[in-house]
Amino acid sequence: MSKPLPLILDCDPGIDDFIAILMILAAPERFNLLGITVTGGNVSLNYTAQNALKACELVGRPDIKVYAGCPEPILRELQIEDEVYGETGLKGVDLPKPTMALQRSHAVDFLIDTLMTSPQKVTLATTAPLTNVAIALVREPRILDHIEEIVTMGGSMTLGNITPAAEYNFYADPEAAHILYTCGKKITTVGLDVTHQIVTSLEWFSRLDALDNPVAHTLATMLRAFYEYDMKKFGLAGGALHDPCVIGYLLNPALFNGKDVHIEIDTSFGIGRGRSIIDWWHKRGLPANSHVFSEVNVEGFFDLLTDLLARYGNRQHILTNEENT
Ligand code: RIB
Ligand code: CA
């Protein structure tokens, strides 16, 4: 068995980021989570930071280091998604107020300091607007030499989800996305083209219920409450699990299929704001700056996710409302 992968997660919990954290912490033999950095996004930074702490405490990991970062995009005004995620970002459940504290350093300082001093190259998973990562890249471009892979949830070859043209993470901070896709490193991109295939179902909820463990129960409660919105708005059979796809790829890349292409981010202020222009047929003849996925093994993904969550069934220290009062 190879050594655990040094990993940093940049996120904006929101429920799908929350699940991504639980996936990482369910597989300590696969991931050495160096830290979680948080930005404003789905909801404001104070909530996204608290939600990251709540995820760590839910699974008994108060040792995980969580760093608050940029509250706002580089240039644009933050557009939160509280209609989707609820005011707190975790609509549907009221988890105990976290007892663990945020780290004192700013997320961008943590990213730069950790990457520049890590003895091994670090994998960077991003599931949020890219403000923290972009600012770190501008401040210290040399961090790229210390990054094994950047895997980003964002973009879409077709329809957007926040506007007809754009996916939310790229829409929220188009300048940050532009900085990432022009940094010179090929970005592994997990866009709506695959995440909209990973949709919850009543059948899967019943699989979660059958796990009979507090973490799976909490998630099923959250997801049922959360995804009514997606089902009504997009006519989906359930809710799309966007950010968990990033961790699913890191755990089993064979579940995903795509190709190297060029992506340009629309940084205009018009209707195309934040659109990811993905040159799938190589029409522009530009060098690939991304590996973009178009296919995912849906059944294999849900088997992986369910197996990970089942691991929490034999954990002793799971904090729930009852135990924490
Ligand atoms: O468009 C989906 C992305 O936007 C996900 O990362 C979700 O958490 C929201 O941030
Ligand atoms: Ca997110």
Angle between helices 244-251 and 298-310 (to 10 degrees): 90
Question: pLDDT truncated to tens, each residue of the chain (325 aa)?
Answer: 689 999 999 999 999 999 999 999 999 999 999 999 999 999 999 999 999 999 999 999 999 999 999 999 999 999 998 888 888 999 878 899 999 999 999 999 999 999 999 999 999 999 999 999 999 999 999 999 999 999 999 999 999 999 999 999 999 999 999 999 999 999 999 999 999 999 999 899 989 999 989 999 989 888 887 777 777 777 777 889 999 999 999 999 999 999 999 999 999 999 999 999 999 999 999 999 999 999 999 999 999 999 999 999 966 443 433 343 3
Per the CB < 8 A criterion, the answer to whether 33 and 60 are in contact is no
Q: Which amino acid, 181?
A: Y
Distance CA 103, CA 35 (A): 10
Distances (CA, A) of 102 to 34, 65, 68: 14, 7, 7
Of the residues 242, 282, 291, 317, only one is catalytic, namely 242
Distances (CA, A) of 215 to 197, 208, 211, 246: 24, 9, 9, 20
Concerning whether 106 is annotated as a catalytic residue, the answer is no
Provide the CB-side half-sphere exposure for 29 (13 A, CA): 4
Distance CA 255, CA 241 (A): 15
Distance CA 284, CA 117 (A): 38
Query: What pLDDT does residue 65 have?
Result: 98
Per the CB < 8 A criterion, the answer to whether 246 and 169 are in contact is no
Distance 181 CA to ligand 1 centre (A): 18
Here the CATH number for the domain that contains residue 110 is: 3.90.245.10
Distances (CA, A) of 11 to 123, 157, 247, 311, 313: 14, 22, 12, 23, 25
| Interval 65-74: pLDDT, tens | 999 999 999 9
Closest ligand 1 atom to Cα of 169: 4
In angstroms, the first-to-last Cα distance of the chain is 40
Count structural domains, the chain.
1
Sign of CA dihedral 101, 47, 228, 161: negative
**DSSP element (H, E) containing 234:** helix 214-234
Residues with CB under 5 A from ligand 2 (ion): 12, 14, 17, 127-128, 243
Distance CA 279, CA 155 (A): 12
Query: What pLDDT does residue 315 have?
Result: 60
If you compute the radius of gyration of the chain from its CA atoms, what whole number of angstroms results?
18
Q: Ligand 1, residues 168, 193, 247, 275: which to mutate, most atoms within 8 A of Cβ?
A: 168
In short, whether 243's Cβ falls inside 6 Å of ligand 1 is: yes
Query: What pLDDT does residue 320 have?
Result: 36
Query: What pLDDT does residue 104 have?
Result: 98
Provide the CB-side half-sphere exposure for 307 (13 A, CA): 10
In short, whether 168's Cβ falls inside 6 Å of ligand 1 is: yes
Closest ligand 1 atom to Cα of 168: 1
Query: What pLDDT does residue 317 have?
Result: 41
Domain that includes residue 124, residue range: 5-324
Query: What pLDDT does residue 1 have?
Result: 64
